[in-house]
Chain A
Amino acid sequence: MAAPTMLLLLADGRFPAGAHAHSAGLEAAVAAGRVTDLATLGGYLRGRLATAGLVAAAFAAAARRAAWSSGRRATLARLDAELDARTASPAQRAVSRRQGRALLRAGRQIWPAATFDDLPVTPGGPHQPLTLGLVGAAAGLDPAQVATVAAHATVTGSASAAVRLLGLDPYQVQALLVRLAGACDATAARAARAAEEPPERLPAAAAPLADIHAEAHATWEVRLFAS
Chain B
Amino acid sequence: MRATARLVARADGHGRTVLPELRGESPLLLRQVPAGDGGVTVYVVGGAAGPLAGDELRLDVEVGPGAVVRVHTVAASIALPGRPGPVSRMLVRATVAAGATLRWLPEQLVAAAGCAHVGDAQVDVAEGGTLHWRDELICGRHGEQPGHAEVNTWVDLAGRPLLRQSLTVGPDVPGWAGPAVLGGAAATGSLLVVDPARPAEPPAVAGTVARLPLAGGLATLWTATAADAHTLRAYLEPPTENRSWCGGAPPEPVSDQHSLAGMGG
Residue numbers of A with Cβ under 8 A of B are 25, 28-35, 40, 43-52, 81-82, 84-91, 93, 183, 200, 203-212, 215-216, 218-220
Contacts and interface: CB of A to CB of B under 8 A. Distances in A.
B225 A212 contact: yes
Contact of B168 (A30, A35, A205): A205
B223 A25 contact: no
B18 interface: no
Contact of A89 (B162, B176, B210): B210
B36 interface: no
Contacts of B162: 85
B152 interface: yes
A52 B264 CA distance: 23
A203 B216 contact: no
27 contacts: A28-B263, A29-B180, A32-B264, A43-B177, A43-B180, A44-B175, A44-B178, A47-B174, A47-B178, A47-B180, A50-B175, A52-B180, A84-B214, A86-B164, A87-B215, A89-B210, A90-B203, A183-B174, A200-B161, A204-B165, A205-B166, A208-B224, A209-B179, A209-B181, A210-B181, A212-B208, A215-B203
Contact of A212 (B177, B223, B264): B223
Interface in B61-107: none
B203 A204 contact: no
A193 B93 CA distance: 27
A82 B223 contact: no
Interface residues of B, number: 44
Interface of B is mostly: strand
A183 B175 CA distance: 11
Contacts of A47: 174-176, 178-181
A219 B205 contact: yes
A30 B180 CA distance: 11
Contacts, number: 151
B212 A85 contact: no
B183 interface: yes
Contacts of A90: 203, 212-213, 215
B163 interface: yes
A206 B167 contact: yes
B183 A34 contact: yes
Nearest to A33: B264
Contacts of B208: 208-209, 212
Interface in B175-225: 175-183, 188, 190, 203-205, 208-210, 212-216, 221, 223-225
Contact of B163 (A85, A91, A205, A216): A85
> Of B204, B205, B249, which is in contact with the most chain A CB atoms at under 10 Å from its CB?
B205
A220 B214 CA distance: 21
A218 B161 CA distance: 25
